[in-house]
Amino acid sequence: MSWKRVCSANDVAANSLKQFDVDGVPVLIANLGDEFRAYPPLCPHMEERLEESGICEGGLLTCSKHLWQWEMRTGEMRGEAEKPLLLYELKQENDDVLVNIEKELEYEYEEDSEEDDDGFWD
Ligand code: FES
């Protein structure tokens, strides 16, 4: 277990996202107004940077590229989403936002192939 300070609570405005580098690991911090959450920085759909494509509203995060949506507190899927959001463990100590990074969390992306399932099941 390795708790690292990411930023101060004032660094991320309410209902917004900001990306930080924590010893070489990119971490996206979300301020829900009353709590913070930490995610990997890329959309699980097509590797868009959520700091740019993400919209926070009413506790939901929406990637504006293809409207995948998630519950910000839990990462659960909503709307068009087909994969949940991964979360880092996070805690706040006074003004400091800390994240527990055991290893970098990353999504698996499918190869961009059009018809790769022909002739496999014979
Ligand atoms: S890249 Fe985010 S929804 Fe498609």
pLDDT tens per residue across all 122 residues of the chain: 699 999 999 999 999 999 999 999 999 999 999 999 999 999 999 999 999 999 999 999 999 999 999 999 999 999 899 999 999 999 999 999 999 999 999 999 987 655 555 555 55
Task: Look at ligand 1, atom 1, and give the residue with the nearest C-alpha.
Answer: 46
Atom of ligand 1 nearest to the CA of 66: 3
State the residue range of the domain holding 58: 3-99
Q: Are 88 and 27 in contact (CB under 8 A)?
A: yes
Ligand 1 centroid from CA 94, angstroms: 34
Predicted structure pTM score: 0.89
Residue 17 lies in a domain: yes
Residues with CB under 6 Å of ligand 1 are: 43, 45-46, 48, 53, 63, 65-66, 68
Q: Which residue spans within 9-76 are E strands per DSSP? A: 16-22, 25-31, 36-39, 54-57, 60-63, 68-71
Residue 25 lies in a domain: yes
Residue 65: CB partners within 8 Å, gap ≥ 6? 43, 45, 46, 48, 53
Q: What is the pLDDT of residue 117?
A: 54
Domain count, the chain: 1
Q: Are 50 and 63 in contact (CB under 8 A)?
A: yes
Residue 90 lies in a domain: yes
Angle subtended at Cα 66 by Cα 65 and Cα 67, rounded to the nearest 5 degrees = 100
Residue 111 lies in a domain: no
CATH code, domain with 48? 2.102.10.10
Residue 31 lies in a domain: yes
